[in-house]
Amino acid sequence: MNKITVVGAGNVGATLAQRLAEKELAREVVLVDIIEGVPQGKGLDQWETGPIEGFDTRVTGANDYGPAKDSELFVVTAGIARKPGMSRDDLVKTNADIVKAVSQEIKKASPRAIVVVVSNPLDVMCWVTKQVTGFPRERVIGMAGVLDTARYRTFLSDALEVSVEDIQAMVLGGHGDTMVPLVSYTTVSGIPVTQLLDGKKLDSIVQRTRTGGGEIVNYLKTGSAYYAPSAAAVQMVEAIVRNKHRVLPCSAWLQGEYGLKDVFLGVPCKLGAKGLEEIIEVQLTDAERAALKKSAESVRETMGVVKL
């Protein structure tokens, strides 16, 4: 890919830009932020790690979207971070205005770009991006499920004392307290996790996964997670750039899948060069289906707060 732009040079955006450059996923990574000097300084600092880390990607910082023109892909991390006691929904009005402005700029600078949204509350910000850009659903995808699944796999690996690489899992639903870890599809090298852990332990892991972001916010006090979120977004970008057809849980605009319509929600998605290539419908237990429906209702409720 020729150019990828990361919007927002805070902790998530800056870490993301660094990871994209190190993996050489584009010839140029542009870091855009409204704070004067910050994207330029961070971009230059990152570019200067190239000779040490062994990459030739150029990292450029900017306060406007001129250098972002004709980017094939945007990753949107702009917005305020959560503070202790804040729910993701508390962020909604402020971040909706920010993401709306960003989306208008993206549409002008790169009308054919694919957009990966990271800003919270995630599913609602995806909807804002899609509405404002007018892009088809293939080109607006949200990063949530990859992060939630990584947290779930981390906690399972710790409880089972096995490598994270051997744990296959997927977390669906909205990015927040209503997310739906699919216990029925969770395996360790093909062995159902229900054969390895009792129900009570699994329930506690599922609950810790749901509140995983808040757990980090409570430690940090003045910010939220960024190492794992940036890694998760990069995994999605890599699947698109390298046309890998990976099946990853992402927030996608549903049009009847899982019996849900006109809402962004985390579902199994196949990602490739065109962005979202396919939404894969898997059979859910009655409890999982009910939880997914409840999650969708929670996202719709938050959408109702936003004036576009």
Q: What does the CA dihedral 124, 126, 130, 131 come to, rounded to 10 degrees?
A: 20
The pair of structure tokens assigned to 54 is 């062994």
| Residue located via tokens 């402005």 | 101
Q: Which residue has the tokens 């506690």?
A: 204
Say whether 245 is catalytic.
no
Place of tokens 């296959």: 168
Count of residues in the chain = 308
Tracing tokens 């979207």 back to the chain, one arrives at 65
Task: Enter the tokens of residue 106.
Answer: 């993206």
Contact 307, 279 (CB under 8 A): no
Q: What are the strands of the beta sheet with 187-188, ordered from one edge?
A: 167-168, 187-188, 191-192
- 213-225 as b/e, with b when 16 or more CB fall inside 10 Å? bbebbeebeeebb
Q: Is the Cα torsion angle 264, 117, 125, 67 positive or negative in sign?
A: negative
Catalytic residue among 19, 88, 153, 175: 175
Distance CA 212, CA 106 (A): 31
Structure tokens at 276: 């979202």
- Phi then psi for residue 20, to 5 deg, are -65, -40
Of 213, 205, 149, 230, nearest to 176 by C-alpha is: 213
- Give catalytic residues, as residue numbers: 175
